[in-house]
A = this chain, B = another copy of it.
Amino acid sequence: MSQINLNSLKSLVIFKTLYETGTATRTAKDLSITQSGVSRSLAQLEENIGMPLFIRHKKRLVAMPEADELYSEILALLGNLEEMKHSIVALREFGASRMRLAAVPGLGFAFVPKIIAAVLQINPSYNIYFDIMPSSEVVRAVESGHFDAGFVTLPVNSQTLIVDKICEVEAVSLIPLNHSLASKDIITIEDLQDQHLVIPNQPNLAADQLLMQIAQNNIRISGKTEANIAAICSLVANGVGISLINPITAYDLAALDRVVIKPFKPAFNYSFGLVYKRNWSGNQLIKLLKENLPDIPA
């Protein structure tokens, strides 16, 4: 096969139009070029593919049967090209359309689902895959390429990932509605004296800090229940004890007719972040995620 040189899509478009209109002059008008350009383009195409496509008869271009067959091939190719252009426009408008998302449980129950809902509201054609896992596993999952981005509890240590802090909140206390502390405006660490604590059973920075402070301030708690974060609100609502968790999870999960949420002093900070591989930086979907963070309860 002596090499066929088809770098120029224009010559194919010109051929197609010429085949359809039948004359070079008309083609030139349609494509806003000159007749001589059409004539040259055709001559060069014929030269390139090594065979005549039109016979010149009485100053007219008459399509040869070879042109018939080539025409349908070119139709398919140019159709394919148009499809690709549409895809490109979609890509440019909406970015890559598939994203595998992971989130830490504290954000996974409502915070991230809200984000996903908002993004899909904007463009329903995105494909999202979402799972919940501990922060360290989120990092591993994104690093390994099994997920594209993840919501984590900060800090994380990863050389390869980009980490964007998305919010910083102060822990709030969660108190059963009929509890003696429920009427206070602010809960302090001293209020925890002789209380039963309900805290997350997974590695949790704020819980660790809290326990440390309790020890430092010589406060004696009556006992503690460690539970999955998803169960904490329910435990509090049923009067097991009081809890200290991040306000996002608190507002997401709390049965507000059975518990109250109160500020806590001293403040324990939670930071949450979005992590993703470097090649996702600048991606439209990442941008959308960051632009659609739900309001954080005051």
Contacts and interface: CB of A to CB of B under 8 A. Distances in A.
Chain A contact residues: over half helix, strand or loop, or mixed? helix
Contacts of A70: 87-88, 91
Contact of A77 (B50, B81, B282): B81
Interface string A93-105: 0011111000000
Chain copies in the assembly? 2
A148 to B, nearest CB: 7
Interface residues on A, range: 35 or more
Interface stretch (A7-15, A111-119, A254-262): A7-15
Nearest to A1: B89
Interface stretch (A28-36, A55-63, A235-243): A55-63
B49 A73 contact: no
- For A8, A55, A65, the residue with the greatest tally of chain B CB atoms inside 10 Å of its CB is A65
Contacts of A97: 69
A74 interface: yes
A64 B283 contact: yes
Contacts of A83: 73
B148 A85 contact: no
Nearest to A92: B51
Nearest to A84: B73
Nearest to A56: B278
Interface of A: 1, 4, 6-10, 49-52, 54-55, 57, 62-66, 68-70, 73-74, 76-77, 80-81, 83-89, 91-92, 95-99, 148, 278-283, 285
Top 4 A-B pairs, shortest CB-CB distance: A65-B96, A62-B279, A51-B92, A73-B84
